[in-house]
Homo-oligomer: A and B are copies of this chain.
Amino acid sequence: MNYTDASIAEIDAAIAAAKAAFPIYRRISDAKRAEFLQAISREIMAIGDDLIQTACTESHLPEARITGERGRATGQIQAFADFISNPAWKKEIHDPAQPDRTPLPKPDLFQTQIPLGPVAVFGASNFPLAFSVAGGDTISALAAGCPVIFKAHPAHPKTGNLVGGAISKAVTSCGLPQGVFSLIHGASHAVGSHLVQHPDIQAVGFTGSYRGGKALYDLAVRRPHPIPVYAEMGSVNPVVLLSDKIAENPAALAAGLAGSVCMGVGQFCTNPGLLILQKKDAGFLDLLAAELDKLPLGTFLTPGISDAYAAGVSNLAQHSKKLTSRDLPSPALFVAEAATINRVVLEEVFGPCTVAILVEDKAEMISFIESLEGQLTGTIHGTKAEISEELVDALLQKVGRLLFNGFPTGVEVSGAMVHGGPFPATTDSRSTSVGTQAIYRFVRMVCLQNRL
C-alpha cells in the first residue's frame, strides 16, 4: 500500500467499480446491509492496538481520546445498523386507491426511499476515526444503499488504510461486490476535483474547512448534472452569557468554558469561538482568561493547523484586545465591542481561542446575533427567567443546534441530533452529518402508482 495521489485512471476505476456495484448493492435487503455494517465494526475492532497506535502517531491525539473515538465510530455503525433494521426508516406512505371517487378515481400511491448512487466522501483531519474512513458520512451512505469512494485525509493515511482494509474485508466476507467501497489517496486538489466532477458520482459528503467544502460545492453545482454536496465547514459557535447565570457560579462557568475552548487543542467544529455578553458582565472575562492561562496549548494535528492557529491569533490580536496573559500562540481570549467591531474577528480560527463581544444591552445583543453568519451551534447560558423568547428565536435562525446551559463541544450520535446549520456552517442547512437522520442525505423519495 502507498499513499501517493490516485491517478485519474485509478479514480475512474474506483468509480466504475462503484457504478457496477450499485445495482447489486441497492437491491440487497436492509437486514443484509445492517449485517454488513456490523461486519465493518468487527473488522475495525479486529485491527486492535495497531489502529490505536497508528492513529495516535499520525494525529498527535492522546490514546484515551483515540480509544474513545473508536468507540464512537463503532457505536455510530451500530446505530445505523439498528436504524435500518426498523422498516420505519423508509418513511413509507401508502394512500390507498379510491376507485369510486368522482369525478376521477384515485390511484393507489405508495411512497418509499431509494439510494442516490455512488457517493464521494472526504474525511476530516480532526477525527481520524469518527469523521473519517468509517465515519458518519461513509456509514450513513452505505446504510442508505450507496457505494462509497472515500478520499483519505493526508494527515492520517496509514490510519485510513487500516480502516479501509477493514471495510474491504467486510465487503468480501459479506459477499458484496468490491466496488461497494474504495479508498483513494490524494493530497492534491486534482484528485478531489476529478472525483466530484465525475458524472457517475451522485452526492458528496465532506467535513473540513470552508475553503475546501466551498470549492467542492462550486464544482458540483457547475456540473452538467449538478449533485448535492453536504459539506460541514465549521463555525464560531456563539455562546450567549446572561447576567444572572454568570452570577450563579462564575468560577464553574469559566472553568467549563475554558475546557470547551481547549478540548482537543480546540480542534473541534463546535469549539466555542465567540462569546456574547453585556458590558456590565465584562468582569467575568478576567476569570475566564485566568482559567485559559492555566491550560496547555497542546500539539496540533498537523504543522499546517499549528501555523494557521499562530497566524489566526496574531490577526485577532491586531483587531481586538487580548485578555489572556501568555504570549501567542497559546490558548487565548480576546475582547471587542459590538459597536466598533472589525468583522474579521468573527472568522473561525481553528484552535483553542475565543473572542468575547461586549454589547450594551439585550437589544444590541439581539441585533448582533441577527448580524451573524450561519453556525453549527449556538448556546445560551441563562436562567429560565432571563432567557427571552426573542433571544431563543433570534439565535435559532442562525444555528443547527441550540444548547441551553451547556458546552457545544461533544456531538451526541442520536436520532434527534442536528450537526448542521445555515451556510456557511454547511452547504445544505436541511441536513445533519451526525445522527441517524444523516441517512436521508443519500436517498430520494419515489412514488409507485398502482404497483402490481
Task: Specify which of B27, B445, B450 is in contact with A404 (CB 8 Å cutoff).
Answer: B450
Chain B residues closer than 8 Å to A420, beta-carbon distance: 444-445
Residue in B closest to A228 when the chains form the complex, CB atoms: B430
Q: Decide if A451 is an interface residue (CB 8 Å cutoff).
A: yes
| Residue A133 is within 8 A (CB to CB) of chain B in the complex | no
- Look across to chain B and name the residue whose beta carbon is closest to the beta carbon of A401: B447
In the bound assembly, the distance between CA atoms of A353 and B452 in angstroms comes to 28
Q: Does A23 contact B (CB under 8 A)?
A: yes
- The interface residues of chain B lying within 8 Å CB-to-CB of A103 are 68
**8 Å CB contacts to B: which residues of A58-107?**
68, 93-95, 103-104, 106-107
- CA A415 to CA B406, docked complex, whole Å: 39
- Give chain B nearest CB distance to A275 CB in angstroms: 18
Q: Is the CB of B109 within 8 A of A447?
A: no
| Identical chains bound together, number | 2
Asked if A95 meets B415 with Cβ closer than 8 Å, knowing A384-B452, A430-B228, A430-B444, the reply is yes
A383 and chain B: residue at smallest CB distance: B452
The distance from the CB of A96 to the nearest CB of chain B, in whole angstroms, is 10
CA distance in complex: A384, B222 (Å): 42
Residues of B within 8 A of A429 (CB): 116, 444
Contact yes or no, B226 A393, CB < 8 A = no
Residues of B with C-beta under 8 A to A23: 393
Across-interface contacts of A412 in B (CB, < 8 A): 95, 106-107, 109
Asked whether A447 lies within 8 Å of B400 as measured between CB atoms, the reply is yes
Interface of A is mostly: loop
Q: What are the residues of chain B within 8 A of A449 when measuring CB–CB? A: 401-404, 406
Indicate if the CB atoms of A416 and B446 lie closer than 8 Å: no
A53 at the interface (CB under 8 A from B): no
Closest Cβ neighbor of A442 among chain B residues: B430
Give 1 or 0 for each of A201-233: 1 = CB within 8 Å of chain B CB. Answer: 000000000000000010001100110100000
Contacting residue for A225 out of B107, B415, B418, B424, CB 8 A: B424
Q: When A226-B221, A415-B111, A450-B405 are in contact, do A445 and B432 touch as well, CB less than 8 Å?
A: yes
Q: Is A427 an interface residue (CB 8 A)?
A: yes
Given A95-B414, A110-B416, A447:B402 Cβ within 8 A? yes
A57 at interface, CB cutoff 8 A: no
A396 cross-chain contacts in B, Cβ below 8 A: 114, 446
- What would 7 A/B residue contacts be, using CB atoms closer than 8 Å? A27-B393, A93-B416, A111-B416, A225-B374, A420-B444, A430-B443, A430-B445
Beyond contacts A221-B221, A384-B452, A418-B447: 6 other A-B pairs, Cβ-Cβ < 8 A, are A95-B412, A95-B415, A107-B403, A217-B221, A226-B427, A417-B447
